[in-house]
Amino acid sequence: MTDTLNRGARIGILGGGQLGRMLSVAAARLGFVTHIYEPGANPPAGHVAHAVTTASYEDEAALTAFAQSVDVITYEFENIPTQALDLLEAHRPIHPGREALRISQDRLTEKHFLRDLGLQTAPFADITDLAGLQAAIAEIGTPAILKTRRFGYDGKGQARLKTPADAEVALADMAGAPAILEGFVDFSHEVSIIAARGLDGQVACFDPGENVHEAGILRTTTVPARLTSAQKTDAVLLTANILNRLDYVGVMGVELFVTPQGLIVNEIAPRVHNSGHWTQNGCTVDQFEQHIRAVAGWPLGDGQRYADVVMENLIGDDMDRVPALAQERDVALHLYGKAEVKPGRKMGHVNRITRAT
Amino acid sequence: MTDTLNRGARIGILGGGQLGRMLSVAAARLGFVTHIYEPGANPPAGHVAHAVTTASYEDEAALTAFAQSVDVITYEFENIPTQALDLLEAHRPIHPGREALRISQDRLTEKHFLRDLGLQTAPFADITDLAGLQAAIAEIGTPAILKTRRFGYDGKGQARLKTPADAEVALADMAGAPAILEGFVDFSHEVSIIAARGLDGQVACFDPGENVHEAGILRTTTVPARLTSAQKTDAVLLTANILNRLDYVGVMGVELFVTPQGLIVNEIAPRVHNSGHWTQNGCTVDQFEQHIRAVAGWPLGDGQRYADVVMENLIGDDMDRVPALAQERDVALHLYGKAEVKPGRKMGHVNRITRAT
C-alpha cells in the first residue's frame, strides 16, 4: 500500500486515448501532474498532460524512465503486456493491482473468477480446437459467441454463431488465438455499474446506467437504468464483492445482463469505463476524479447523482452533428481531439441532461 | 472577423496561470489544441496544454513563432504589453479585441468609457501630483482609494486614504506611476456578472454572483446573489451595453456595487473571471467553455444555472484544508497545481453545491 499522494505528486497513465485524457484532466483538477505513456504518436491525452512518452511497451529504457518520473502508475486499458507491468511495478506501485489485470485480461480466467464468487455468468467453454468447439456447441447451444480469450474490445476478436454450422468459420476468425465460447443469455437489457474502492477499502458506487450497443460498440448509457430496488441492491453487492475479493484500488466497470433469473455478469473492466461518462455531468465527483482519488489514496466521492443523463457516443461521422449539438441546451460536449475520423472510431461523447433531480 | 474554428484548430493562450489552465481544459473538451505563452517557468496551465512557450513578452522571435503555431489567440489577463499585442495581431486574430484591452488596461480610460455609456461609476480624478491629489480629495472627499492606472490586480497598486492627511504616503505608494483617485461608494454588497458575446454578436449572461473580498482578494462568490428582479435586469442590460459597444468577443467579468441609487460599475475584466468559477459546477457550459466557444466562433451556451453554489477561493494556507474538503459531500475541488504555497496566492478553489435548482 502506498501512502496518500502529496500535492503536486506525479501520476503516470498507461495509454493516451480518451480515457487517459479524461483521467489526466481529473488528476490536474486535484493538483496532480500527469505523465502519459503511449506507443501511438500525438495521443489525445497528450493535449492535456504535463509530459508524454511515445514508446512501445517493449521499450525497457523508456518504461524505466517513465516509472522513475512518477509516484504512482495507473492505466486506461487492461491489455498491457505482462512484461511491461513487471518492469514498471519494480519501480512504482500500479493501481488497480496485478490481480485485477490478470483476471480481466483473460475472458476464461474472468469467468472462473466470477463463478468462484458465486456470481452468475453466461454459460461458457474453453475452446482450443474445432472438435472442442463442436462439443461445446452441443452442450451450450446456439446462438452463441466465440471470443478470443485476450485483447478483445469494442466487438473486436468476436464471431457470432447462429447455428452449429458456423463453427468452422468462427474458429478461423480467431486466427489460432485461444478462445472461449459464450452461450446466449436471454436478457431484457444491459446495465453497468461503475464502482470504486479506495486505498483504505472504502467502496462507492455510482447509480447503474442502462446501455445500448450498436455493432458491438456502446451507443448510449441512460441514468437512471430500468432496475427494481432489489436489482439495484444486487448490483451494488455483487460489485462490492468483486472489488473486495481483488483488494481493488480504483474505478471498475461491471457490465450486467438483466434477466428474470437475476443479474448475470457480462464482463468487468479494471478501469474507468465508457458507460460511466455520464458522471461528468451527473455527479460532483465523476468517475475520472473518483479513480484518481482512489489511486492517490484520497477519500472517495459518494457517487451521489444530481441529474438524469443520457450519454451518447459520437462515433465516426457522428462528428458532423457537433455544430447542431453545440446549439442544444443541456447538452455537454466532450470531444477527444482525434485528428482523423474513422468509421467505428470513438471521437467524443455528449451528456444530455434530461432532468435535474 | 475570423470564421468558426475547425475541429482540432489551435488556440493560443497568453498567460499560464489558473485561468489559462481552466481555459485550456475547456478548449480540449471541445476538441481544440492549446498552446500556452507564459514568461514564468512551469506554469499551471502547462500541466494541461499541448504546448508551452516559456518566453518574455519582449521576445519577438518567440512571440512570432507562437502566433504562427496557432489559429487564434486569447488571453487570461489584460495587462499584456502593447508591443507584444501589435506583433501577435500582425499574424493572428486576438479575441477579445484590442479596444477592450485598451480600455481595461487603464482605470482612467475605463472610467471615461463607462461614463460615456451612461453608466454610474465611483467619483474619480486623474492624479499626476500631490497638488492634484489634494485638490481631488477636496472635491471627492475621504475615505477614498488611490490606484495606479495600469497593472493593478488583487489589491496591488492601491493605497487607501482614510483622511486627507494620508495623501502624501498614498502617492508615494504609487512610486511615480500615473494614478487615479476613486471616491468612496456606500454600497450594500458587490456582485459581478459574467457575460459573453459571440463572434455573431449573440450575448449570453450567467446569473450574477455575490462577492465577498478579504484583504483585496476575492474570498467567496455566492449564487444566487441578493438582487431584485429589476437589479438583475439592469445588470444584464448594462453588461450587454458594454459588450456591444466594444464589439466584444469572449467572456467578460463586470463588477458592480449595489447601492440604493442603483448599480455602480466598479471595474470590467476582458477575460474569464474568478467570480465566474462557480459556473464549473452550476452550468452545463461554464465560463471557460463559454469563452472558448466565443473565441472559436461557436454558438454560446445560454448561461442557464442548475444549482445554487458557493465558490470559495483557497488562498495560501487554505491548502491545509484540502484533506477535509475532499471528504465533504457536494464540494468540488479545483486545484491549480502550483508548487509553492505563498500568503495571498490563489492555490485553488472549491465550489460547494448548496441546492440543486
DSSP 8-class letter at A166: G
Residue of B nearest to A46 (CA): B50
The residues near B22 (Cβ < 8 Å, ≥ 6 apart) are B272, B277, B280, B288, B334
Chain A positions in Cβ-Cβ contact with residue B333 (cut-off 8 Å): 29-30
Q: What is the pLDDT of residue A216?
A: 86
For A47-188, strand residue ranges (E) read 51-54, 72-75, 124-127, 144-148, 158-161, 179-183
Which one of B30, B34, B50 has the shortest CB-CB distance to A333?
Answer: B30
* ipTM for this model: 0.93
Question: Cβ atoms within 10 A of the Cβ of B69, count?
Answer: 17
Query: Can you tell me the distance from the alpha carbon of B275 to that of B351, in angstroms, rounded to the nearest whole number?
Result: 11
pLDDT of residue A247: 97
Write out chain A residues lying below 8 Å of B298, CB-based. Answer: 326
- Chain B nearest C-alpha distance from A78 (Å): 24
List, as ranges, residues 150-169 from B with C-beta within 8 Å of A: none
The verdict on A322 touching B (C-beta cutoff 8 Å) is yes
Residue A253: predicted pLDDT: 98
Which B residues, 38 through 77, put their C-beta within 8 Å of a C-beta on chain A?
46-50
What phi and psi values does residue B187 have, to the nearest 5 degrees?
A: -105, 150
pTM strictly above 0.90 = yes
Q: Does B325 touch chain A (CB under 8 A)?
A: no
B chain contacts of residue A46, beta-carbon cutoff 8 Å:
50
Q: Report the relative pairing of strands B189-197 and B209-214 from DSSP bridges.
A: antiparallel
Query: CB-CB: which of A8, A32, A330 is closest to B339?
Result: A8
Residues lower than pLDDT 50 in chain A: 1-2
CB contact under 8 A, A333 and B28: no
CB contact under 8 Å between B356 and A306, yes or no, is yes
In total, the C-beta contacts within 8 angstroms joining chain A to chain B are 106
Residues in contact with A209: Cβ distance below 8 Å, sequence separation at least 6, in sequence order: A191, A192, A193, A194, A221, A222, A223, A225, A275, A276, A278, A311
C-alpha cell read off for B50: 499541448
- For A202-233, how does the pLDDT look when each residue is reduced to its tens digit (9 = 90+)? 999 999 999 999 988 999 999 999 999 999 99
Q: Which residue of A has its CA nearest to B352?
A: A284
- Mutation pick from A7, A295, A321, A338 vs chain B, by most beta carbons of B within 10 Å, is A7
In this complex, which of B21, B299, B306 lies closest to A326 when CB atoms are compared?
A: B299
pLDDT confidence of residue B1? 40
Helix axes A18-29, B18-29, angle to 10 degrees: 160
What's the CA gap between B313 and B319, in Å, rounded? 10
pLDDT tens, per residue, chain B with 357 residues? 446 888 889 999 999 999 999 999 999 999 999 999 999 999 999 999 999 999 999 999 999 999 999 999 999 999 899 999 999 999 999 999 999 999 999 999 999 999 999 999 999 999 999 999 999 999 999 999 999 998 766 667 899 999 999 999 999 999 889 999 999 999 999 999 999 999 999 999 999 999 999 988 999 999 999 999 999 999 999 999 999 999 999 999 999 999 999 999 999 999 999 999 999 999 999 999 999 999 999 999 999 999 999 999 999 999 999 999 999 999 999 999 998 999 999 999 999 998 876
Question: Residue B326 is nearest to which of A298, A322, A348, comparing CB atoms?
Answer: A298
The CA distance from A214 to B1, in Å, is 41
**Partners of residue B301 in chain A, C-beta under 8 Å:** 329
Q: Which strands sit side by side in the sheet containing A72-75, from one edge to the other? A: A51-54, A33-38, A10-14, A72-75
B18: nearest CA in chain A? A29
Task: For residue B338, give how far its alpha carbon lies from the nearest alpha carbon of chain A (Å).
Answer: 8
Collect all residues of chain B within an 8 Å Cβ-Cβ radius of residue A356.
Answer: 306, 356-357
Residues whose CB falls within 8 Å of the CB of residue B120, separated by 6 or more in sequence, listed in order: B261, B262, B263, B264, B265
CB of A317 less than 8 A from some CB of B: no
Instruction: Please report where in the chains the cell 484500488 appears, as a residue.
Output: A249
Q: What is the pLDDT of residue A153?
A: 62
Q: Which of A134, A201, A141 is nearest to A171 (CA)?
A: A134
A356 to B353: CB separation less than 8 angstroms, yes or no: no
Answer whether A327 touches B (CB < 8 Å). yes
pLDDT of residue B151: 77
